[in-house]
Structure 1
Amino acid sequence: MKIKTYLAVSIDGYITTQEGWPVQLSMPAFTGRTSYGLPEFLADCRGAVMGRTTFLPALEAPEWPWPGLRVFVLTSSPLPEGTPAEVVSAPDPAELRKLMEEADLGGDVHLVGGQRTLDAFLSIGALDQLGVLTVPRFVGSGVRLTADGSPFRRFELRSSRTFPDGCLEQVYLPAA
């Protein structure tokens, strides 16, 4: 099981706009799970892990955003009523990783969400692959990919490709 991410980021370093929308929504060619290499990325995923902030809006969504995936939530608060019974939560990334391993998913886990969840898994050495879709937009403000004061980390480029609209996919592995 690998924990891997596929995050969209603006060229000025933001993963959301100032209104809180994911930056990939600013691209006319974005059509959700069928866009920008996501089908290939998701093909091996059997689980999704995220923080509470990313998870909560899914409970009110007209369609469950992670069909067919086991969902794991990093949170120290109880999950609200209406949470599907198969959703697993834990307050600690190491504990949540152990629960993912014990679930024997038969595939990888997609780390969905923001900088705090990404940083939590990076801090315990549990991110196996960092996928970044660079969107050719300046958004000026919003949530940055990394928080101020994040530790220095090295990555090695595994692959890259450019889409016709200028989006650039880069896949990195944590460097030793």
Structure 2
Amino acid sequence: MRIRTHIAVSVDGFIASPDGLPTILTAPDFESGLSHGHPEFIADCGAVLMGRNTFAPAVGSPHWPWPNLRVFVLTSRPLPEGTPDGVVSAADPAELLRLMRDADFTGDVHLVGGQQTIQAFRDIDALDELGVVIMPTLLGEGLRLTPPKTATTPLQLTATRTFPDGSVEHVYTPSPNQN
């Protein structure tokens, strides 16, 4: 089991606009779950991991976004009413990591986002792969991929591909030469 991201980022480093709109939605040809390499990425995943802010809007939605995947939520608050059975939550990233390792699924874990959850798993050295799809747009402001004053993490490029709209996917792993 590896914990991996596949997240859209503007050229200037933002994962969302100031009003919270995910950067991927700037692509005119974006199709949820179908474009920008998502089908190939999710095919190797048996679970998804996210924070409560990403999870909550899906509860009560007419379409459950993670069919056939185990769902793990990093949150210190109770899960919203209507949460499907089987969703696992914990307030501590190390505890949630333990629960994921003990869970019955095969494949990797898609860390859906956002900034705080990605950072929480970076902080415990549990982010195995950082996949970013750089969108051909400049947002100017918004939510950055990493919080301010985050520790430096050397990365090693493992894959790159381009998409017809000019976006570029880079996949990184933590550098084995980290101190």
SS class of match (2:15):
coil
- Measure, in 2, the Cα distance between the counterparts of 1:67 and 1:80: 18
Counting only pairs closer than 5 Å after superposition, residues 14-53 of structure 1 correspond to structure 2 as 14-53=14-53
SS class of match (2:141):
coil
CA RMSD across the alignment: 0.9
How many pairs align? Answer: 176
Partner residue, 2:148: 148
Q: Tell me the alpha carbon deviations over residues 13-33 of structure 1, each in whole angstroms, 9 at most, x when there is no partner.
A: 100112211111110121011
Q: Taking structure 2 as the reference length, what is the TM-score of the superposition?
A: 0.96
- Measure, in 2, the Cα distance between the counterparts of 1:62 and 1:15: 25
Counting only pairs closer than 5 Å after superposition, residues 93-112 of structure 1 correspond to structure 2 as 93-112=93-112
Q: Tell me the alpha carbon deviations over residues 128-153 of structure 1, each in whole angstroms, 9 at most, x when there is no partner.
A: 11100000101112111011111111
CA shift for structure 1 position 60: 3.2
- Measure, in 2, the Cα distance between the counterparts of 1:81 and 1:24: 28
- Measure, in 2, the Cα distance between the counterparts of 1:68 and 1:120: 25
CA shift for structure 1 position 166: 0.7
Q: Could you tell me the percent identity over the aligned residues?
A: 56
Letter in 1 for 2:79: L
- Following TM superposition, the consecutive aligned residue runs of length 4 or more in structure 1 with deviations greater than 4 angstroms are none
Partner residue, 2:4: 4
SS class of match (1:164):
coil
Letter in 1 for 2:170: Q
2:60–2:82 CA contact under 8 A, matched in 1: no
Q: Which runs of 5+ in 1 are unaligned?
A: none
- Measure, in 2, the Cα distance between the counterparts of 1:126 and 1:30: 29
- Measure, in 1, the Cα distance between the counterparts of 2:142 and 2:80: 26
Partner residue, 1:72: 72
SS class of match (1:32):
coil
Partner residue, 1:116: 116
